Structure 1
């Protein structure tokens, strides 16, 4: 119970800091920061996939899963503010404007992704490649659900 309370408190603090920090940056910087977060998660998803396809390294998988969960829970939603829905100069965004028009759906997708990322991190600690593979697949489905609706080609 105490771990949940500490986790919730840290999550709220991170969101507050992210929201405050987002207000200090220009829209093009916010696009770049969110893209960096997603790129980092993608790189870690690739590390897990390689481990599932080849020689499984429990420590590498756990580290990658923890990195994905950390970014997923970092308050990245604060980087999606008005003014970041379109390309800005040389900075291109991959988000469709519809993302900003459907906050309830986006919130639901984000919460599902966070839950799946947290589950992957939890399962990865146990070192069972089959369980990790199943949880990894669920994270991929959560990514795809948002990409299919809100990511431009």
Structure 2
């Protein structure tokens, strides 16, 4: 319980600090930056998937741990601040697939964000231990948390 309280407090502080910094970032840049973050996470998810799920690449615990740490770092970076006013629709050259409900269902967004952060942090922890089967399980949990957000708040 105390860990959840600390995590939530830290998240709110990071989001608040990030909000101040984002205040000077245009809506178009916010969309570009968040898409870049998600693309980087996707690339790292692909590296883990290839090694622990598909087996198409030899398992390298150090590479998997590095990829998991990158995912956790982005998950904890305060990316929520990149969903500021004006980013609910495509702007300029930046297209977005976020549904309008993302901006109105704050409690539900918080639930999926917390689930993702917890899953990403757990993946990094498990990957550091090097147990391939445990990494595969934790990786699946991250995937479920991603899908939970996509299903609710991402347009096809």
Fold conserved (TM > 0.5)?
A: yes
In 2, Cα distance between the equivalents of 1:12 and 1:96? 23
Task: Tell me what 1:126 maps to.
Answer: 129
**Match in the other structure for 1:143:** 146
Render the CA deviation track for 1:55-80: whole Å, top value 9, x for unaligned: 11000000000000000000011111
Q: CA deviation at 1:30?
A: 0.4
Paired residue secondary structure (1:125): helix
2: distance between equivalents of 1:106 and 1:92?
Answer: 20
Task: Report how far residue 147 of structure 1 moved.
Answer: 0.2
- CA drift of 1:122 comes to 0.2
CA RMSD of aligned residues (A): 2.1
The size of the alignment, in residue pairs, is 151
Please give the alpha-carbon distance, in whole angstroms, between the structure 1 residues aligned to 2:13 and 2:103. 24
Moved more, 52-61 or 123-132: 52-61
2:12 & 2:152 partners in 1: Cα distance?
27
Question: Deviation at 1:15?
Answer: 3.0
Q: Which stretches in structure 1 are left out of the alignment for 5+ residues?
A: none
Residue 101 of structure 1 and its aligned partner are, at CA, apart by: 1.2
- What residue is the counterpart of 1:92 in the other structure? 95
